[in-house]
Amino acid sequence: MRHPRTYYAALAVAVIVTIVPAVPAIAEQRSPVPSPTVSGPVPGAVPGDRLASAVEDTYPFFSTPDDLAAKGYVEQEFHLSGVADGWDPQGNQVATDVPYRTRIVIRRPARDHRFNGTALVEWQNVTAGYDLDALWNGEAMMRAGYAWIGVSAQRVGVDQLRGWSPARYGALDVTGGGQYLADELSYDIFAQAAKAVSARRHGSPMGGLDVRTVLAIGASQSAGRMTVYYQSILPKVEPVFDGYAFIVGNAPTRVGPEPVFQVLSETDVRTPVRPSPDTDRFRRWEVAGGAHSGWHGQQYRNPISVRDLGAVPVYDCAQPPFSRVPVNHATAAAYDHLVRWVRKGVAPPTAPPLVFNADGTKARDSHGLALGGIRYSQVTVPTARNTGDNAGQSFCFLFGSHQPFDQATLEELYPTRGAYLAQVVRADLGNVHAGYLLPADAGGNLREALASGVGG
C-alpha cells in the first residue's frame, strides 16, 4: 500500500495561490481550447480480481461501490489524449502543444430523461498521493440527475495509476515525457476534459446526453489549482466552464463573467479576515462545526481504500477525529444554486460568517460549538461536540473532531424524544427555507435523529 504523503504539498499549493496577483481582463484574443481525442470506454469493472495481464482484468481505480444501476446510472472510464499547453501559476505560458494522455471517469444517468443537463467536472485531488474523487456525493448527485466527471490532471495521480495497473494505465502521461513535472499541463488538460464532455458529436463520452451546463468543481488542493486557472489563465484562454465551485479551499479574487461559489468548513476558516466579499459574481459559505475532511467522506472511502490500496490509513489524532457535521449538504445545495445562477441569473443566498473573538480565536458556545456560519441541526440541536479543529500526525488537522455528549447532558438538553425531534425539524426547516439545505437532506437528518434514540 502506498501511504498518504504529507500535507506539505497541499500547503505549498495554497501558498502559491495566495501570492498570485489579481489579473485584469485581457482584451486580446483568447486561445482556443483544443478538442481532445476520447477513446473508450475502457473495458473492465468491479467486482473481480485485479490482474495485470490484460486491460479486461482491471477496473477503474477507486471505482465507486455505490449501487449506480439501482439509480439508473453507469460508470465508465475513458482515455483522453491530445496536445496541451503549459502554464505557470502566474499565468505565463511555458509550453505549447505537448502530447499527453490521461483518463476521465464518468458517472452519469444511463438515459437522458434522468439527466438534469449539468455535468460536474471534478479536478481529482492528489494530496494523499493518488486520485481522490473528494466531491462525489452519490446520494445527492444521483437524486438530482447530475453527471459527475473525474479528471486525472496531475502527475502524482497519474504516476500512481501507472504503478497500480500498468496494463490499464501504463500509457498515461501528463508530463510530456518527463519534461514538465510541476503540472504545467494540468490546466489545459482539465479544460480539454470539459470540452470533451460538452461536445455534441458522435463518440461523445457522455453517451448522447444533452449537456447544457458544465461546472468546474474542486476540493482542497484541487480548489487551489482551479484558483490559479481562474485567476491567471482563464483570461487568456477560451472559457469552457459555465460556473465554478471551490470547495474547502482557495477561491479567486478576480471578478470574471463566470460565477464563483466557495464552500468552506470550519477547519478552513482560520482568520476573521475574508479576502473577498460577496458580490453578484461571488458567494462564500462557511459551515459551523464542519471539517475539511469529515465523517461522510471517510465512511464512503474506507471500503474503497481496503479494496484498492490494501488498508485504511490509521491516524493518531489529539481528539477523536471526523466531525459529523455534513458539509456535503452545503455543497449539494451550492451546486443547485450555481446552476440557477448560470442559467437564470438567480444569485444564491448569502450566509453569515463564522464569528471570531477580539483576540482572533473562534467564538464558541458553552458546548464548544462554533458560533455563526451555516448552522445545521447537528450544531443547533447538538448531541456531540463537533468542531473543525484537531491536531496530531499527518492529516489530523483536517479531520475536525467529534465528541459525543454523555447521557446526563443529553437528558438535560432533551428531556423527551418529542422535544428533541421537534427541534431537529425546526432547525432543518429553517435551513431549507434559507436555501442552505435541500429538502431531501433534511429528511435524511430526521431519519438519523429518529434512529439515534436521543430523548427516548
pLDDT tens-digit map of 424-436:
999 999 999 999 9
At 239-279, the pLDDT tens digits run 999 999 999 999 999 999 999 999 999 999 999 999 989 99
At 71-103, the pLDDT tens digits run 999 999 999 999 999 999 999 999 999 999 999
State which amino acid sits at residue 200. R
121 or 12, greater pLDDT: 121
Contact by Cβ (8 Å): 96, 138: no
Residue 1 pLDDT class (50, 70, 90 cuts):
very low
Q: Does residue 16 carry a pLDDT above 70? A: no
At 364-376, the pLDDT tens digits run 999 999 999 999 9
Residue 456 pLDDT class (50, 70, 90 cuts):
confident
Residue 47 pLDDT class (50, 70, 90 cuts):
low
Instruction: Provide the 3-class DSSP secondary structure of residue 98.
Output: strand
217 bridge partner residues: 122, 245
Predicted structure pTM score? 0.92
At 331-360, the pLDDT tens digits run 999 999 999 999 999 999 999 999 999 999
At 136-155, the pLDDT tens digits run 999 999 999 999 999 999 99
Query: How many Å apart are CA 42 and CA 61, to the nearest integer?
Result: 12
Q: Does residue 310 carry a pLDDT above 60? A: yes
* pLDDT of the residue at 55: 54
* pLDDT of the residue at 56: 56
* pLDDT of the residue at 7: 35
- Nearest C-alpha neighbor of 94 from the set 163, 179, 37, 166: 179
Residue 204 pLDDT class (50, 70, 90 cuts):
confident
Residue 215 pLDDT class (50, 70, 90 cuts):
very high
Computed over every residue of the chain, the mean pLDDT equals: 92
As a whole-number percent, the residues of the chain with pLDDT over 90 amount to 88
| Residue with grid cell 433534511, as numbered in its chain | 442
- Nearest C-alpha neighbor of 266 from the set 426, 345, 374: 374
DSSP letter for 125, please: B
Query: How many Å apart are CA 85 and CA 178, to the nearest integer?
Result: 15
Q: Does residue 2 carry a pLDDT above 50? A: no
Q: Does residue 209 carry a pLDDT above 60? A: yes
Contact by Cβ (8 Å): 149, 106: yes
Q: Does residue 54 carry a pLDDT above 60? A: no
**C-alpha cell of 144?**
438530482
Q: What is the mean pLDDT of residues 390-416?
A: 96
Contact by Cβ (8 Å): 91, 232: yes
